[in-house]
Amino acid sequence: RNSFQTKAVTQNIQSLASLQPKIQASFKVAVLGAAGGIGQPLSLLVKMSPLVSNLHLYDIANVKGVAADLSHCNTPSEALAFTGPEQLGDALKGVDVVVIPAGVPRKPGMTRDDLFNINAGIVKTLVEAVADNCPDAFIHIISNPVNSTVPIAAEVLKQKGVYNPKKLFGVTTLDVVRANTFVAQKKNLKLIDVDVPVIGGHAGITILPLLSKTKPSASFTDEEIEELTVRIQNAGTEVVEAKAGAGSATLSMAYAAARFVESSLRALDGDSDVYECSFVQSELTDLPFFASRVKLGKNGVEAFLNSDLQGLTDYESKALEALKPELTASIEKGIAFANK
Ligand code: NAD
Ligand code: LMR
């Protein structure tokens, strides 16, 4: 089970409640796109972390007010605003974790790939600055299409001579959060106990929940497997349609991204029991990038949980083969963009 839902959250709430943080705040986190729909609630959640000493909020607009607002919370970290490209370098210097939710979200009828033309350039520019100013940081890419923006980031870092595949992450935590929620509802399980690994990528059929690996173990009918898999794959679209033109998931995404930040900080802090799903450079399949469960440590990805891909059901094996062409094409599109 994921300890963010139990140990870390409980500790955070307890320490906030007592206003006496028990954990030493020492890490610097930068959020690029901090004034956005995800950026604002994510920054609030990161501001609550007892592990964070400095929170750098960067955006091209409106970030001063967000930082002023957050800076009144009496939690350990100092929140500072950085606006516009001329302040980007300062936003990144000395940072341990960089989270990138900058970019445009979907509207109804769009695919994540429809965001490529705008977001690819934004991610490229921001990662160039990361390479120049904090090349050792963990980099969390949220901007869509993640299946392409992570390969773009990798190419940019390679061009700058600072690529460390263990520290570049596509954030797919929301897929796991959704899978856990939907499975717990469907099977009447205690939500806090449920953990469903989600592999592949972060768009449509490339999102593959491994329901057969659900913990605690649960049995599903064929209909339940089909229904849950399709709902998890389309959950982003479910939110886009409900928001009817006002954007995509922001609050659940901020929650998921904060969980991934907290896990990364715990790993950096020496916790040896941190596991998360993430879209990373991988040798688990024949694809160069692949989302799967990884063990996080001080140096980033420490190990892959190879066992997740063993003993798949027929349904999961077929779905894994079916997702490969789309995921390969998205990865190649990102690589080509970065090298053009
Ligand atoms: P938003 O439009 O509300 O916010 C985006 C923010 O990025 C804005 O504040 C904007 O000013 C800023 N921005 C734009 N260009 C920038 C630049 N060059 N440098 C710095 N900041 C810049 O959008 P949102 O709802 O927060 O979504 C952001 C992105 O996250 C979208 O691409 C969306 O598709 C993606 N997303 C990913 C996941 C996931 O699971 N990985 C989930 C939800 C959304
Ligand atoms: C999500 O899964 O909610 C995000 O990728 C946003 C989207 O466009 O669906």
Q: Which residues of 3-18 are buried (b: 16+ CB within 10 A; e: fewer)?
A: bbbeebeebbeebbee
Structure tokens at 330: 């998205």
Task: Indicate the residue type of 172.
Answer: T
pLDDT for position 222:
98
pLDDT digits (tens, 9 = 90+) for 200-228: 999 999 999 999 999 999 999 999 999 99
pLDDT for position 22:
55
Closest atom, ligand 1, to C-alpha of 173: 40
- Residues lining ligand 2, Cβ inside 6 A: 105-106, 112, 144, 174, 236, 239-240, 248-249
Lowest-confidence segment of 11-15, 25-29, 147-151 by average pLDDT: 11-15
Closest atom, ligand 1, to C-alpha of 141: 41
C-alpha distance from residue 89 to each of 66, 127, 215, 299 (Å): 19, 11, 43, 23
pLDDT for position 14:
45
HSE-CB at 18 with a 13 A cutoff on CA atoms is 10
Q: What is the C-alpha end-to-end distance of the chain, expressed in Å?
A: 43
pLDDT for position 199:
98
Residues 6+ apart with CB under 8 A from 168: 139, 141, 150, 153, 154, 157, 280, 281
pLDDT digits (tens, 9 = 90+) for 18-69: 444 456 779 999 999 999 999 999 999 999 999 999 999 999 999 999 999 9
What is the best residue among 240, 255, 260 to mutate for testing ligand 2's pocket, by most ligand atoms within 8 Å of CB?
A: 240
202 in catalytic set: yes
pLDDT for position 329:
98
Report how far residue 171's alpha carbon sits from residue 139's, in angstroms, rounded to the nearest whole number: 10
C-alpha distance from residue 212 to each of 244, 290, 312, 322 (Å): 34, 19, 7, 18
Structure tokens at 180: 């856990």
Report how far residue 70's alpha carbon sits from residue 68's, in angstroms, rounded to the nearest whole number: 6
pLDDT for position 6:
47
pLDDT digits (tens, 9 = 90+) for 309-324: 999 999 999 999 999 9
Q: Which residues of 83-122 are buried (b: 16+ CB within 10 A; e: fewer)?
A: beeeebeebbeebbbbbbbbbbbbbeeeebbebbeebbeb
pLDDT for position 23:
63
Residue bearing the CA closest to ligand 1, atom 39: 142
Q: What mean pLDDT value characterizes the chain?
A: 94
- Residues lining ligand 1, Cβ inside 6 A: 32-33, 35-39, 59-61, 101-106, 115, 119, 122, 126, 142-144, 146, 171, 174, 202, 247-250, 253
pTM (2 d.p.): 0.95
pLDDT digits (tens, 9 = 90+) for 230-289: 999 999 999 999 999 999 999 999 999 999 999 999 999 999 999 999 999 999 999 999
* Kind and range of the H or E run holding 70: helix 63-70
Q: 134 and 94 in contact (C-beta within 8 Å)? A: yes
pLDDT above 60 for 3: no
What is the best residue among 177, 248, 251 to mutate for testing ligand 2's pocket, by most ligand atoms within 8 Å of CB?
A: 248
Strand partners, 28: 54
Find, among 194, 182, 171, 146, the residue nearest to 259 by Cα. 171
pLDDT above 70 for 147: yes
